[in-house]
Amino acid sequence: MATEVKVPTLGESVTEATVGEWLKNPGDAVAVDEPIASLETDKVAVDVPSPVAGVMGEHKVAVGDTVEVGAVIATVEAGGAPAAKGEEAGRATEEREEGKQERAEPASGDSSVTMSPAVRRAVLEHGVDPTTIKGTGKDGRLTKEDVVAAAKAKSSGSGDTIASAAPEQAATPSAPAASQGERREERVKMTRMRQTIAKRLKGAQDNAALLTTFNDVDMSAVIEARNKYKDLFAKKHDIRLGFMGFFAKASCLALKDVPAVNAYIEGDEIVYHDYVDISVAVSAPNGLVVPVIRDAQDKGFARIEKDIADFGKRAKEGTLTMEDMKGGTFTISNGGVFGSLMSTPIINPPQSAVLGLHRIEDRPVVVDGEIVIRPMMYIALSYDHRLIDGREAVTALKIIKEAIEDPTRMLIDL
């Protein structure tokens, strides 16, 4: 008896999604609640679980198709796997036993069934063999970061530290090598998440009066505090003490004193908040996502660091939910982890401001009339000038700078 697999409820106001990849092929054994497909919504990737245990039946839709909530996308045949004949039976059984470890291997030269578009692009760009890479995503799936790491290890001659060993004769290139002088193009349909990101960011430029103010921060005090307390902090709270906790708490001070930076425009009204929900920009395999640290003004450093670490882990696994990214009154984006020296971050609508962090580097600065070398970071605040005046934006950024340079301010609310 065949059981229909339907698109589950995807979240408030979300009515459709795009089929990102099939995790099970017809004939594969599936367990109850085991993911059989991954759907891409405007914000997150959502796994579709099997409602029953049995054998994967027919795929009703293809990768890239748009499906609505409640639509039938596949069937699952209840019971055990059907008997097969001869060599085909042996191959089918072997493939089911290999299961998740082989999910990254291209089928008949086409990896669209087993790898997401982002991973496929990374494989082609870096020229690596996906069958030799151990996936770190959910259920052992390959992520873009896995491919990039494998490419780096390959170029440095240490590929065996992250790639599983494979017989040389069994390795097949992900794409035929281009002859000298050959130029190629590849057209890949934008994921639903990338389309939404594009629309939202363009909308921010079209609808807001964007402006950015800059400052620089001496990170000496924060670095000293981390070095002094990082071991005790990790032992007590079981989490690493990072920089984001400091900037989140410093932002709370600034938003309390300059409430317009924590507000947004709705129609002809300004909506102010007596709480701070900080959206933290996190890199995920399918694009940038912004999960929310709720009530950051009431949370300590340990809780904030744990929230951020959890978001980063689940973003990589693709398990963030709609609820994780709902709301947010202010955003922090850390381009410094990618080496950025300075940037003009763009606001996350309907929010009115975003704080951009950048890399720390030793620079000569003048302190008490003397030139000294200090670990400095440029920080940027992009804001909607319709709501936030230049004086307010500069004041908010200055408060953040002062709190980072003298962390005691965060303890005594200055």
- What per-residue string of b and e applies to 305-318 under the rule 16 or more CB within 10 Å gives b? bbbbeebeebbbbb
- Could you tell me what percentage of the chain is helix, strand and coil, using 3-state DSSP and rounding each to the nearest 5? 35, 25, 40
124: confidence class by pLDDT, cuts 50, 70, 90: low
| Per-residue model confidence as pLDDT tens digits over 272-314 | 999 999 999 887 766 678 899 999 999 999 999 999 999 988 8
Crossing angle of the two packed helices 390-405 and 244-257, in degrees rounded to 10:
140
- Catalytic residue (one of 129, 389, 406, 413): 389
Q: What is the pLDDT of residue 379?
A: 97
Domains in the chain, start-ordered, CATH in brackets?
1-102 (2.40.50.100), 104-189 (no CATH), 194-412 (3.30.559.10)
| Per-residue model confidence as pLDDT tens digits over 174-202 | 555 555 678 888 888 777 777 777 888 88
> In the annotation, is 385 catalytic?
yes
| Per-residue model confidence as pLDDT tens digits over 145-163 | 788 888 878 766 544 433 3
Q: Tell me the average pLDDT across 128-157.
A: 76
Distances (CA, A) of 255 to 36, 188, 223, 244, 291: 44, 41, 24, 16, 19
> In the annotation, is 126 catalytic?
no
- Catalytic residue (one of 206, 385, 406, 413): 385
Q: What is the pLDDT of residue 68?
A: 86
